């Protein structure tokens, strides 16, 4: 494993993490998943290697949010905490998360370079695979520069629309469609080829979309039947008789569980923080720490629960959810332990 490859992992992961941390960008990066998966294979690793770089980057960034308006902004506003306060501590947490995730991916890459049979996707041909020879022979020409400019302009429009125009999934999908059409025109694809490639891409995410729809339907049934209120009340009530330090850790566990039922950062904040904030006062936990527990619990579990976006990104990347769990669960244990340590440190510091 070359030094360039080692440096590339934290650089790419940091880029995607900053998008998730500062702007709450998750689905906005979906279009780059096939590129990173193919790059991982072309570099001599496997599909999981490239997939992990982008997925860990954006979701860990979302978890270690600094300016994320959907989690930090909403939760602190509801809790009555100054908006974006304690940013220095959250930046420190984010850096630690990125370093640990980068090291985990790098060590995995070294392992499968020595013995490819240790790959969790060994023997499976990636749907986004391209050869290292193609990568080495590729030269940046005028078409490539124009296509990259197309991507940069699209991202600029995306940022502007999110921040100033309140864009959501509809605008996002339309923008990426336009980007792909412009790129196809630059590369002189025929309309028929563009449609064929588009349909081929849709096929890879269809199963993930079906699973997500089923999961969302379960959530809707639970909400309409007011089962969700019972679950939230039960989890919050369990904090009442616990020691202060343990109460803070239990808040983290509760928010992690609740994200299965409310797979939305702002939605979970709106549903839980009106209960958790005053409860934190009762058990001696600061509201700042309550917001941090929400942020951590909501963020990491997006990579675990099938009701969250991990199902969709696995579909886009051509990675089965079971293989992702097998690869990710050891790292999830490390990250959860880090979250608990940071929550404890925040308590000790009087954050």
pLDDT tens profile 207-253: 556 655 665 676 677 667 777 667 666 666 666 667 778 888 888 99
Q: Is 140 left (phi over 0), alpha (psi -120 to 50) or beta?
A: beta
Instruction: Identify whether 93 is part of a domain.
Output: yes
Kindly state whether residues 335 and 242 are assigned to the same domain.
yes
Kindly state whether residues 289 and 314 are assigned to the same domain.
yes
pLDDT at 108: 94
Q: Is 262 left (phi over 0), alpha (psi -120 to 50) or beta?
A: beta
Kindly state whether residues 228 and 115 are assigned to the same domain.
yes
Instruction: Identify whether 146 is part of a domain.
Output: yes
Kindly state whether residues 284 and 306 are assigned to the same domain.
yes
Kindly state whether residues 162 and 263 are assigned to the same domain.
no
Kindly state whether residues 231 and 331 are assigned to the same domain.
yes
Kindly state whether residues 208 and 102 are assigned to the same domain.
yes
pLDDT at 85: 85
The list of the chain residues with pLDDT below 50 reads none
Looking at the structure of the chain, the number of domains it has is 2
Q: Which residue, of 189, 212, 232, is where some domain finishes?
A: 189
Instruction: Identify whether 133 is part of a domain.
Output: no
Instruction: Identify whether 156 is part of a domain.
Output: yes
Instruction: Identify whether 9 is part of a domain.
Output: yes
Report if pTM > 0.85.
Answer: no
Kindly state whether residues 111 and 144 are assigned to the same domain.
no
Cα separation, 173 vs 273, in Å, equals 31
- CA 314, 174, 214 angle in degrees (round to 5)? 40
Q: Which residue, of 148, 172, 189, is where some domain finishes?
A: 189
Kindly state whether residues 183 and 217 are assigned to the same domain.
no
Kindly state whether residues 12 and 71 are assigned to the same domain.
yes
For residue 153, what are the domain limits?
Answer: 138-189
Kindly state whether residues 198 and 273 are assigned to the same domain.
yes
Kindly state whether residues 232 and 155 are assigned to the same domain.
no
């Amino acid at each position: 494993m070359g030094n360039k490859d080692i440096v590339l992992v934290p650089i790419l992961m940091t880029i995607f993490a900053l998008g998730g941390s500062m702007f709450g960008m998750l689905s906005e990066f979906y279009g780059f998943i096939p590129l990173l998966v193919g790059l991982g294979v072309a570099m001599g690793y496997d599909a999981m290697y490239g997939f992990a770089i982008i997925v860990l980057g954006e979701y860990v960034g979302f978890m270690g949010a600094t300016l994320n308006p959907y989690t930090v902004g909403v939760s602190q506003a509801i809790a009555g905490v100054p908006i974006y306060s304690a940013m220095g501590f959250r930046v420190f947490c984010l850096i630690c998360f990125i370093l640990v995730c980068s090291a985990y991916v790098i060590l995995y890459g070294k392992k499968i370079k020595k013995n490819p049979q240790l790959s969790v996707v060994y023997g499976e041909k990636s749907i986004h695979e391209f050869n290292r020879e193609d990568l080495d022979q590729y030269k940046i020409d005028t078409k490539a520069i124009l296509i990259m400019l197309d991507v940069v302009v699209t991202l600029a429009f995306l940022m502007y629309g999110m921040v100033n125009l309140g864009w959501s999934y509809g605008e996002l999908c339309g923008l990426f469609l336009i980007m792909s059409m412009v790129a196809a025109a630059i590369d002189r694809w025929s309309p028929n080829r563009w449609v064929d490639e588009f349909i081929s891409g849709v096929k890879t995410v269809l199963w993930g979309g079906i699973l997500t729809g089923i999961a969302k339907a379960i959530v809707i049934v639970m909400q309409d039947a007011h089962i969700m209120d019972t679950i939230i009340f039960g989890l919050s009530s369990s904090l009442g008789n616990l020691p202060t330090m343990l109460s803070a850790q239990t808040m983290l566990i509760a928010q992690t569980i609740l994200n299965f039922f409310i797979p939305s950062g702002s939605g979970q904040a709106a549903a839980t923080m009106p209960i958790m904030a005053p409860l934190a006062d009762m058990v001696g936990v600061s509201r700042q720490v309550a917001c941090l527990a929400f942020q951590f619990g909501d963020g990491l579990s997006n990579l675990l629960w099938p009701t969250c976006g991990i199902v969709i990104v696995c579909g886009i990347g051509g990675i089965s959810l079971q293989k992702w769990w097998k690869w990710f669960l050891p790292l999830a244990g490390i990250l959860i332990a880090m979250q608990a340590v940071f929550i404890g440190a925040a308590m000790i510091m009087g954050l």
